[in-house]
């Protein structure tokens, strides 16, 4: 193994069912239901998934959901905005913890 | 403007080279194996309801995904004599729909004659239009001609934005296409109650499958109306076929094997059962008969004892003929399927 991540490993995802088929089947059933059209369209859900993929920095998910977004009819401008949403939440998440920092400063300081 | 494979003397201009690439791809099993698993091999026609005539490879555009390798320097054009054979054959039948394609079919000198003859026989006529042809000076009055003959216009528009459309079809094509659509709308095309049908065709701008037809149609309808005041009847989603110039793009961009794998993994037995070749007869510019326009471009004429030229037209034998297939057929059976009329499943 010369790298932890390899693009062709994405197509081996279903091999995770070999260790515990019951859990895999439950996961994949849930997964399929999550991404089916409901109150949100399949296209909107794929854009959310793309943003989350960037937030969790999963190269498999980024590869898969970039393709899925295109195949659901999204364009690169919409997909870029989805990535910015992930970026803003990640950045905002760091920044909002600054309030804790300030709370501690306030407590410790005269 | 880009050049055709033929004028660049590219090896992929040869149908034999394309078929060789398709036969040796490692990321998908032979198409006939998938067809057999679906209980559809060998595939047979189920009767002809669409008489599709490809009048030639001459076109005013050289789109990057073109399965015909059409362009301004192509000289193949259906003659009046062959067009007459098409009308004679059509007159022997009650095939309801005549689908005229190219190239840019309107640039064939016999196009208007063909339309008038087919209409005189009472057939529904479809024109596969690249839109920009309507703006060419020598084609003045073309839109009015189509309207007066109640021809259904099936117009190519891959996206509702210029960047994607121009990337596939050439610089400036989007703006001209919108102008042509607005002209068609002014004549009543796409307008509810007019009876003049304007359908759009969307091909993905890249190596991926089209979105669901209903979802794309709603998106195009909303955006084209909001941005340009354009209306239309239906949107057809068509998968890019891994042949000719799209095959060249796949190979050059390193997407070929992945795309073929994607098509094969998305094989849909319901789409395979409804493929257009089962109810279409495709006539080439020289009168040769094919199962579809894609087989036509791969020089795969009818076989297995079926007539091979329009001069030998025999409806009974054509109605139940065995279809010629190869690995490019995955393009019509992936996902919701793909046909000249869009998704099939």
Domains in chain A with CATH codes: 41-108 (1.20.1290.10)
Total Cβ atoms within 10 A of residue B155: 21
Angle in degrees, CA B31, B158, B146, rounded to 5: 105
Give the SS3 label for residue B7: coil
Chain B contact probe: residue of A44, A46, A72, A79 with most B CBs at under 10 A: A72
Alpha carbons B315 and B14: distance in angstroms, whole number: 31
Q: What confidence tier does A1 reach under pLDDT thresholds 50, 70, 90?
A: low
Give the SS3 label for residue B57: coil
Q: In the block, which residue shows the tokens 């499958």?
A: B209
Rg from Cα positions in chain B: 19
The per-residue pLDDT of chain B, averaged, comes to 97
pLDDT tens column, B72-123: 999 999 999 999 999 999 999 999 999 999 999 999 999 999 999 999 999 9
Angle between helix B80-91 and B111-120 (nearest 10):
10
Alpha carbons A62 and A52: distance in angstroms, whole number: 9
Let me know: does B192 contact B232? Beta carbons within 8 Å.
Answer: no
pLDDT in the model for residue B340: 86
In Å, how far from its chain's centre is CA A92?
Answer: 17
Alpha carbons A60 and A9: distance in angstroms, whole number: 8
Residues of chain A found within 8 Å of residue B206, distances taken between Cβ atoms: 70
> With pLDDT > 90 as the criterion, what percentage of chain B qualifies?
97
Angle between helix B244-252 and B15-23 (nearest 10):
50
pLDDT tens column, A30-83: 999 999 999 999 999 999 999 999 999 999 999 999 999 999 999 999 999 999
ipTM metric: 0.77
Domains of chain B with bracketed CATH: 11-333 (3.20.20.70)
Query: Which pTM does this prediction carry?
Result: 0.91
* CB contact set of B46 (below 8 Å; sequence gap of 6+): B278, B279, B319
pLDDT at residue B187 tops 80: yes
Contact B208 A41 (CB under 8 A): no
Q: Which two tokens stand for residue B238?
A: 């068509």
Contact B204 A71 (CB under 8 A): yes
Q: What confidence tier does B304 reach under pLDDT thresholds 50, 70, 90?
A: very high
Mean pLDDT throughout A5-24? 93
Distances (CA, A) of B195 to A66, B118, B191, B325: 40, 18, 8, 37
pLDDT in the model for residue A7: 86
In chain A, the residue whose alpha carbon lies closest to the alpha carbon of B158 is A73
Q: What confidence tier does B341 reach under pLDDT thresholds 50, 70, 90?
A: confident
Considering only CB atoms, which residues of chain A are within 8 Å of chain B?
11, 41-43, 67, 70-73, 75
> With pLDDT > 70 as the criterion, what percentage of chain B qualifies?
100
């Amino acid at each position: 193994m010369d790298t932890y991540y390899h693009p062709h490993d994405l197509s081996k995802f279903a091999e995770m069912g070999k260790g515990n088929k019951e859990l895999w089947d439950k996961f994949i059933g849930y997964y399929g239901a999550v991404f089916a059209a409901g109150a949100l369209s399949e296209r909107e859900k794929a854009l959310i998934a793309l943003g989350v993929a960037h937030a969790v920095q999963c190269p498999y998910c980024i590869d898969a959901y970039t393709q899925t977004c295109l195949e659901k009819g999204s364009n690169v401008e919409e997909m870029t905005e989805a990535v910015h949403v992930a970026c803003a939440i990640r950045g905002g998440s760091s920044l909002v913890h600054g309030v804790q920092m300030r709370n501690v400063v306030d407590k410790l300081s005269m | 403007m880009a050049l055709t494979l033929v004028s660049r003397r590219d090896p992929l201009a040869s149908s034999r080279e394309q078929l060789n690439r398709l036969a040796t791809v490692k990321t998908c099993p032979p198409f006939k194996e998938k067809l057999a698993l679906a209980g559809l091999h060998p595939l047979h026609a189920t009767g002809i309801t669409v008489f599709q005539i490809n009048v030639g490879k001459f076109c005013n555009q050289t789109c990057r995904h073109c399965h015909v390798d059409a362009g301004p320097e192509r000289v193949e054009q259906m003659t009046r004599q062959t067009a007459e054979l098409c009308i004679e054959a059509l007159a022997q039948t009650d095939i309801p729909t005549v689908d005229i394609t190219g190239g840019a079919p309107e640039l064939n000198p016999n196009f208007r004659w063909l339309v008038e003859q087919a209409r005189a026989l009472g057939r529904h006529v479809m024109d596969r239009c690249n839109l920009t042809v309507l703006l060419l000076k020598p084609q003045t009055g073309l839109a009015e001609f189509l309207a007066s003959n109640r021809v259904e216009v099936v117009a190519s528009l891959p996206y509702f934005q210029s960047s994607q459309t121009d990337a596939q079809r050439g610089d400036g094509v989007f703006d001209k296409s919108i102008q042509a659509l607005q002209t068609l709308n002014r004549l009543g095309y796409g307008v509810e109650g007019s009876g003049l049908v304007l359908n759009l065709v969307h091909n993905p701008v890249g190596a991926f499958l089209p979105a669901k037809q209903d979802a794309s149609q709603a998106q195009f309808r909303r955006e084209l109306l909001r941005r340009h005041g354009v209306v239309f009847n239906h949107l057809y989603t068509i998968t890019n076929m891994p042949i000719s110039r799209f095959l060249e793009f796949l190979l050059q961009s390193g997407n070929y094997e992945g795309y073929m794998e994607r098509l094969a993994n998305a094989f849909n037995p319901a789409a395979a059962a409804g493929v257009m070749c089962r109810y279409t007869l495709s006539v080439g510019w020289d009168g040769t008969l094919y199962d579809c326009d894609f087989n036509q471009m791969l020089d795969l004429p009818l076989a297995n004892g079926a007539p091979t030229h329009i001069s030998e037209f025999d409806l009974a034998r054509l109605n139940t003929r065995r279809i010629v297939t190869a690995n490019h057929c995955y393009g019509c059976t992936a996902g919701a399927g793909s046909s000249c009329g869009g998704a099939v499943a």
